[in-house]
Amino acid sequence: MFFLFNLIIAIILGLASGFIGAALGTGIAISNIPNLIYDLAILIPSIAVGVRRMHDTGRSGWWIIFPFVNLVLLCLDSQPGANEYGPNPKTA
């Protein structure tokens, strides 16, 4: 859900800044400021969600550093039952 809401907000901000930049004739330099602010605001929560997902699969949060491996691991199902990081969020 976190990714879905961020995607929707990013699309809306992108469309709005594109229309504003085209209407004002300023291009993308000034109109991308809201996108930059939003990206900076969700940087740390995005990392936290990724680390939590790694913990759900029973792996260390440091796996988030490796993008291609991370993509595969994020698609895996959670570990059934509890692991060293806590209980399975699907069963709680």
Using DSSP's 3-state secondary structure scheme, residue 90 falls into: coil
Residue 21 has pLDDT above 70, yes or no: yes
42 conformational bin, left if phi > 0, alpha if psi -120 to 50, beta if neither: alpha
pTM over the 0.85 mark: no
pLDDT for residue 88: 74
| pLDDT, tens digit, 9 for 90 and up, residues 32-76 | 788 889 999 999 999 999 888 888 888 888 988 888 887 887 777
Mean of the pLDDT values across residues 8-25? 85
pLDDT for residue 68: 84
pLDDT for residue 89: 73
Burial class of residue 11 in the structure, from the number of CB atoms within 10 Å of its CB (0-12 exposed, 13-18 middle, 19+ buried): exposed
